[in-house]
Structure 1
């Protein structure tokens, strides 16, 4: 039997303040207003030390709220507009839902409670930033299961909160807060130095989005902007040992060695010359950000050219590429998307963000004691809807390598998805003893590159299906006949207007509107408008013999 009751907790003693939102907050607010809450909200489970009373656990939570301004912050805004301001309350209240069981709940129960708390959207202008449940047995608290607004905290901030909470329960006196509060960080970002860093980040992103593959997984079967993906969890003592030995042999950091192996295998499987991936970073390199309770994590955009002969050569490049990405991960999200929209419209592409690698292994995991676990185990878990095709979380690298992987089932069969994880371990084992030629990745890992078919072309750094471009462009224009062919500059689209007022600008705008969820489609560099389609509509030469009404790149304006 479970008894549920709600405790209302009042707090006072903080300072009331207001000011602009930070770049990280603005980025997450944008995501919260756009994405489903279960995708963007975050959660955590904090085990309660034995012997702790419920009142003490709640008192420590109250002390956290007074100590950290972010937990007392709301974001007022007009309907239909994104918040630009944050307000810190001096006093207020929050609630704790107590779930008191007669018997111990099953393993994973607290995590399921925290996940359920993620489902409801946080109201930015009025909601307390944490939804807290206290799981207890016969009145004795077992764990705190909470969901958090990503506008208030990130995963690293939740770890800081847990450490402070445990210290409070242990009776320790916490030192004064010296880390940046959100308002402190907003002020730092507005300085000339902060603005220069943000501008440099925009230039870094623009360069990659302008020149690198628009999507890693542009291949048959890749459709849609969201996928239902089953979670796979790898736990491997073998992988951890191999990673440590590879790091020792090469002199690289274990995190960089793992990132290098993952990038090599992703690019190999996708048949790409580089690995372009979103690599979320905590942005906590500066002392005053290390323990900041705030949402400072943002995407770093990594571009790693894999056209080198061996693993060791790639590892040497990966360190610099990763460092460059991390240095450019603090940006104004609104301006970044303005840059992305402008560049992709000009290029005729759609930035996919279809590959994400999130290494959270540096966060406290609670793992202690000797190395225990399976030599190599892959366990299947829940299905989640994700706006990406490959998502990897690194939870631990020692003493057990523990990864979470979600992949698009349209691109990876269940055996291929599992084979990617086991192939990663095999690559680490090979790199532990000697340099690995990248030309041997199929033999070493068992992971085979995708087969796209003869009609696919590399155009402007991206894999493209000309026939799919023609089909999508025709559909976007109401079914007009379209023929697409490659030439020296890219793709050329021939369109039969049938006498309608069709222009290159209208054709390009229609295609760009249809691009989301179609990574195999890249806009032609030139649109050629004729009146009628030739009898041999599948032959480029026949279209060239038609009288041209107008032609152009179509990038000048949207009409």
Structure 2
């Protein structure tokens, strides 16, 4: 999120390595925590530069290198998480953690006649560079430490952490304690649990009940919510990486507007900002709800508040935006966010097993395609130098470097006062540069309008200048998702080896058919056809045509000829392709197998008149 170091930076003095020994800890072993399991899954899968984390600790003037290493040694002995490794056979994921009683770590010393460029930015670049390379979970000390000195005098510590042992809150705790140690202060006794004990709490009956409740909460959303927020002709599949440039908003206008909207509505600024984000995302996507991942620190209880470990997991927010006014949405957001945070502790292995089962039954693919991470409550120094600059900007948008984006829309909120400071990464397949700029500017416009008075949700286009996605008349809303029958037909055709396929929306109760036998409920209308951008034509109902029960069901007709094909085999072949398919692909609710295609292969009524050989949902569980 911060400025990289100049690539031509040269250290005139060769680096040297200090080996620091520590002893006096207690050797322990136990299961890993839910937070550790969640992060380890990402560590084993993702690019290390994405999953490792970093921080920069300024060294107070006058502190010696020996004092710095002594403070680091004290922290290693004090916090079991820093002495933890995760043994596991190759090709498997760890299930246990081992805490060493003693050991060593290294400190790389880079000495300079003077620090190049802006010293804080340079230190930041050194720390960021140390994120490259996967941590060896089974044996490596989980912190890479570089001491930057000027003529032998310590100036900064640049650190890269394994996310298996620390998160943003843990880094803040360590930074605070490091500073106190160098100031000669005595640290208080530990009041929060180390990871081994935290794992025991999670495995208790109460902890297991909490995890089970979280899994049920997530399952409800994954079964019923949109499978992809940005299902539209130009979109890509969630989970398909793109490279997106960072777009940073710094706006004193936005800060004043957020404060004013919070005062007027009587809700916290964080709630108002979340409501505005969800309203604008759903409006732009043409959805009647917003599903967004909201990383949670999970440090609500004193026994976890100051634990040096990784406790962060996703809270999954599913916010229904079908309300008349923005004030009503803000009121709804408060409870929805609390509910999401209550269900952000879970067994990640079981979570992904559940997601796999549910998406196979639903015929969908869950993508973490919208992420909103509000870190404005963290201490300002922890946010890095780039996050602390530009306080005087009335309203500016600045483009930064690109990075691989495994989501469709990612936002970090660094500050809300005196300016609103947000960095956005928007998939270029969905957001042209001017659209990304318009989205952040539209967010400020919505906050300004809310500060002045309540905002009808049906006026979001006029208020924000953000237009909803455009979809052709062939797109349908099915099972809470926007679906392109043509895209489903093409993908299913490939899945069954090129057999003739016809896909149609079968009439639901109250639906009618056109002369060619296709569905003619209002399910094909998108926001460009006259809805308010929330996906509901009357602002109260989320079905495609605005009336309960009229939503069509997708049916696939397959002319199998002599091919021995069953509905189960067709569904299994299709769901295997869906993760890499184009946008708008959802498995049909029903598969109908016939021998040969009709004379009019584009007419649904012609397919319906054929003799059925076999039919079914293709799922083991009826949906």
Q: Could you tell me which of 569, 573, 586 is aligned with 1:506?
A: 569
Matched, 1:482 2:482: no
Shift of 1:309: 0.9
Counterpart of 1:528? 592
Shift of 1:542: 2.1
Q: Distance in 2 between matches of 1:15 and 1:414?
A: 54
Counterpart of 1:554? 618
Q: Could you tell me which of 268, 281, 287 is aligned with 1:272?
A: 287
Counterpart of 1:139? 152
Residues 409-452 of structure 1, C-alpha deviations (whole Å, 9 max, x = no match): 00000011011111111111111121111111111111111101
Q: Distance in 2 between matches of 1:478 and 1:103?
A: 66
TM-score (normalizing by structure 2): 0.87
User: Are the aligned partners of 2:191 and 2:302 in contact in 1 as well (CA < 8 Å)?
Assistant: no
Q: Distance in 2 between matches of 1:407 and 1:438?
A: 23
Shift of 1:370: 12
Shift of 1:291: 1.0
Q: Could you tell me which of 455, 463, 466 is aligned with 1:444?
A: 463
Q: Could you tell me which of 201, 222, 235 is aligned with 2:235?
A: 222
Structure 2, unpaired ranges of 5+:
1-9, 509-551
Residues 203-238 of structure 1, C-alpha deviations (whole Å, 9 max, x = no match): 100111111111111111222421211111111111
Q: Distance in 1 between matches of 2:389 and 2:184?
A: 29
User: Are the aligned partners of 2:504 and 2:556 in contact in 1 as well (CA < 8 Å)?
Assistant: yes
Shift of 1:344: 1.2
Q: Distance in 2 between matches of 1:276 and 1:192?
A: 30
Residues 26-54 of structure 1, C-alpha deviations (whole Å, 9 max, x = no match): 11111111222112111112222233322
Say which is worse superposed, 103-112 or 285-294, in terms of deviation.
103-112
Counterpart of 2:539? none
Counterpart of 2:441? 422
Structure 1 segment 4-19 matched on structure 2, within 5 A = 4-19=15-30
Counterpart of 2:131? 118
Q: Distance in 2 between matches of 1:173 and 1:31?
A: 36
**SS where residue 7 of structure 1 aligns?**
strand
Q: Distance in 2 between matches of 1:464 and 1:118?
A: 40
Q: Could you tell me which of 441, 463, 481 is aligned with 1:462?
A: 481
Say which is worse superposed, 359-368 or 380-389, in terms of deviation.
359-368
Structure 1 segment 401-416 matched on structure 2, within 5 A = 401-416=420-435
Q: Could you tell me which of 34, 44, 55 is aligned with 1:33?
A: 44
Structure 1 segment 79-158 matched on structure 2, within 5 A = 79-107=90-118, 108-158=121-171
Matched, 1:52 2:37: no
Provide the aligned C-alpha RMSD in A: 1.7
**SS where residue 446 of structure 2 aligns?**
helix
User: Are the aligned partners of 1:235 and 1:400 in contact in 2 as well (CA < 8 Å)?
Assistant: yes
Q: Could you tell me which of 296, 316, 341 is aligned with 1:326?
A: 341
Q: Aligned pairs, how many?
A: 557
Q: Distance in 2 between matches of 1:536 and 1:115?
A: 61
Residues 118-146 of structure 1, C-alpha deviations (whole Å, 9 max, x = no match): 12011111111111112223223332221
Matched, 1:357 2:376: no
TM-score (normalizing by structure 1): 0.97
User: Are the aligned partners of 2:76 and 2:83 in contact in 1 as well (CA < 8 Å)?
Assistant: yes
